[in-house]
Amino acid sequence: MFKSPIFWLFSGPAWPVKVAIIVIVPIALVIGAINTYPWAILLLIPSIVTLLAGKPAAAIQQACLVVLPPTLLALAHQLGLTVHRAAQSHTLPDLDFTQIALHIPAHLVHYSAPGGEPLQWAGRAAALLGLLLSARLLPWGFATQLLARSPRLKLVEDPSLGTACWHGWRDLHKAAKPGWPKPGNNPGIVFGRLGRRIITLYPRAPAIVNHHVLVLGSSGAGKSTGYVLPNIYAAAQAGQSIVVTDPKGEIVKQTGTWLESQGYTIQIFAPGQPIGHAWNPLLEARNEMELDLLAQALLQSDVGKSDPFFRAAEQYLLRLYLHAVRDHPDLRDDERNLLTVLSKLETLKPEALTVFVGRSGSQVAIDTLKVLQTRCGKFDPALGTAAKLSGLRKAALNVCSTDGAMIDLAAIRQRKTALFCVLPVGTNAFVPLLAAFYALLFTRLMGAPAEAYAHGVRLLLDEFANLGAIPGFSAQLAVARGYGVSISIMLQSIDQLDAIYGPMEAKVIINNCATMLVLGINDLASSTYISRLLGDTAARQQRDRHVQDSLVAHRERVEDTIRRALLSPDEVRRLSAQGDGIAIAGPYTVRFNRLDFCRERLYREISRVPFVPPPLTPATIPQITITPPVTDGNENEEVCGNESWF
């Protein structure tokens, strides 16, 4: 395919070197014109740098190409002199090529010497032509070495063998633009550099059907610096509300002050830590359906690991406590929280529970108690439920306070809000609470179509596997686009998704992400999946063949066109060491340079003033005395059922 000189000049990782050479040559000509320096030496600088970069073969080729046009000019010059002298002496020219070759170095020295003779200018022009020829080797010469690139495949066009290929700027002009996103309503996705320019993807149907992104990157692959931080900036430019999973609490400190200056309200959900804002799931749930969703999310982490009967009984019991605590008339508003549920779950005996439920006035709790009394017999689901939620006590202490600022999930759609979820480090005890938080968050975000809200929402869910199984997540992901919600899921491997949601639902989640980014993975299963997803291509293969004829044996190099994977699994695993990443966005496959946002000028502006999270006032355990209601035995039996159902 023909490419214009301008496209070649400004494409590829070595384009600054090419432009520098084009600038150096006129300067060298000016130096030569004023007779101050042998300018021709400057033309060999690319060869010298290539040699220092450890590419002697490419350096020799460059030097030969630079010298070739002046040498041909010197040869023509000497032949012309020989013919001219023979014509003056009226004899045939003596074409002694040995003597002619001996005169060529003298002509080259004359061309490179300071001066303004026509032949010297002709020699400089010939050397410039040689420089342009040698510049074509630059992407395979020192630029390749300096950028630590691995040898690339020589792809050829042969659809019968495979059509997979890498796409560049010319292919992406409808889906991506160079440079950082500009202020406006068109949200872009920043994920790296193509050449030396930032690549910002603007998904648009039918090629890229949604803004959901699946990011695969092992620990240390740069998910935070290469994807989360750049896309916080991109979301702010688009005026979107932002929900960020912040595993170490560093991102909110780096970006919180800047986001406030951009008009954002900062909210922090940090279970298990004495900072951030309070969140009461019982007050957040608005109706019976949301309370049931809360009970399901709190016990969802063991799906597939326990017997369905026992899990259903535990879920029914938790549902009972949630409804009873929220509707109980003897509890103050600051006592209607998850901490009270845990306290009663661990301490109430069957008789006291019957009285507590009857006094609550919650018909849902009373009906649920009847089901448990009828179906569970002597089985006590309280022990298993309390054991699964026992790790939440500290988290509940920190998030159930109603004395300070509360997290308002509904406000995320009403005004520009940045919500940071700081994950606890070194424990999985808070996973049920995190799953419940995100389950109710998605319910709030998708309460009405996007046109009903002033702001779109972008979720950047780093360490997604640590959030637990969010009920109905795959279904919510499928419809989120219609609500103006874009979700980025970050995992260390695809196996993590299988372990939490199961293979079938994991496939649904992956298929609903129109863009997949690979920043560096180590496990074989994920690398094999990516290799197969990229597809096969037609590549040029060189091999040496030993030939034996009747007289002599020799070796010759043969080129074949073969079918092979665009990237093999081991090549996918080596991407991290090379600083590369892969983007699969609809029909486009892009191999890009990973981005380190901490080295960008924008990062210095954003993180200039660290953000100080607000302290959190912990809640206290309510001391509630259960007083049996004054009723006759028959009424109590009808409302609360058999008290010895345990």
Name the band, by pLDDT with cuts 50, 70 and 90, for residue 494: very high
Cα 83 to Cα 378: distance, rounded to the nearest angstrom: 118
Examine the pLDDT at 340 and tell me if it is beyond 50.
yes
387: in domain:
yes
Examine the pLDDT at 415 and tell me if it is beyond 60.
yes
β-partners of residue 213 are: 488, 515
546: in domain:
yes
With 0-12 / 13-18 / 19 or more C-beta atoms within 10 angstroms meaning exposed / middle / buried, residue 625 is: exposed
Say what the pLDDT of residue 148 is. Answer: 35
Q: What is the pLDDT of residues 375-411, one digit of tens each?
A: 666 566 777 777 777 777 766 666 776 666 789 898 8
Say what the pLDDT of residue 104 is. Answer: 67
539 shares a domain with 567: yes
Say what the pLDDT of residue 341 is. Answer: 87
Examine the pLDDT at 28 and tell me if it is beyond 90.
no
CB atoms within 10 A of CB 167: 17
DSSP E strands, 219-363: 241-246, 265-269
Give the CATH number of the domain where residue 554 resides: 3.40.50.300
Q: What is the pLDDT of residues 312-329, one digit of tens each?
A: 888 888 889 899 998 888
Distances (CA, A) of 29 to 42, 72, 125: 10, 20, 9
Say what the pLDDT of residue 255 is. Answer: 95
Higher-scoring residue by pLDDT: 335, 132: 335
252 shares a domain with 387: no
Cα 432 to Cα 418: distance, rounded to the nearest angstrom: 23
416 shares a domain with 351: no
Residues 249-276, mean pLDDT to the nearest whole number: 92
457 shares a domain with 589: yes
518 shares a domain with 602: yes
Residues 215-242, mean pLDDT to the nearest whole number: 94
Of 33-37, 125-129, 131-135, 369-373, least confident by mean pLDDT is 33-37
Closest CA to 533 of 497, 556, 507: 507
Closest CA to 280 of 400, 394, 440: 400
Distances (CA, A) of 626 to 278, 335, 357, 386, 416: 27, 14, 10, 20, 44
Of 424-438, 476-490, 617-631, least confident by mean pLDDT is 617-631
**Which residues lie below 8 Å from residue 424, measured CB to CB, with a gap of 6+?**
271, 272, 273, 395, 430
587 shares a domain with 488: yes
In which residue are the tokens 């043969």 written?
558
Report the length, in residues, of the chain.
646
521 shares a domain with 570: yes
632 shares a domain with 581: no
425: in domain:
yes
298: in domain:
yes
Domain range spanning residue 293? 283-393+621-640
Examine the pLDDT at 110 and tell me if it is beyond 70.
no
398: in domain:
no
Mean pLDDT of the chain: 79
491: in domain:
yes
Say what the pLDDT of residue 121 is. Answer: 65
125, 146, 167 - which closes a domain: 146
Closest CA to 611 of 256, 282, 283, 110: 256
530: in domain:
yes
| Percent of the chain's residues with pLDDT above 70 | 72
Examine the pLDDT at 101 and tell me if it is beyond 60.
yes
Q: Given CA atoms 183, 189, 192, 193 in this order, what sign does their dihedral have?
A: negative
Residues 496-520, mean pLDDT to the nearest whole number: 93
H or E segment to which residue 133 belongs = helix 118-135
571: in domain:
yes
What domain count does the chain have? 3
Q: Both tokens of residue 12?
A: 């590829």
β-partners of residue 581 are: 592
CA 47, 52, 54 angle in degrees (round to 5)? 100
Q: Are strands 457-461 and 241-246 parallel, antiparallel or unpaired?
A: parallel
252 in Cβ contact with 277 (< 8 Å): no
359 shares a domain with 345: yes
484 shares a domain with 630: no
Examine the pLDDT at 548 and tell me if it is beyond 60.
yes
β-partners of residue 194 are: 197
579 shares a domain with 434: yes
Cα 188 to Cα 235: distance, rounded to the nearest angstrom: 8
584 shares a domain with 459: yes
Q: Both tokens of residue 486?
A: 């874009």
In which residue are the tokens 């992901």 written?
477
Cα atoms in the 13 Å half-sphere on the side-chain side of 554: 7
Question: What does 204-259 look like in DSSP terms, one character per residue?
Answer: -TTTS--S-EEEEE-TTS-HIIIIIHHHHHHHHHHT-EEEEEESSSHHHHHHHHHH
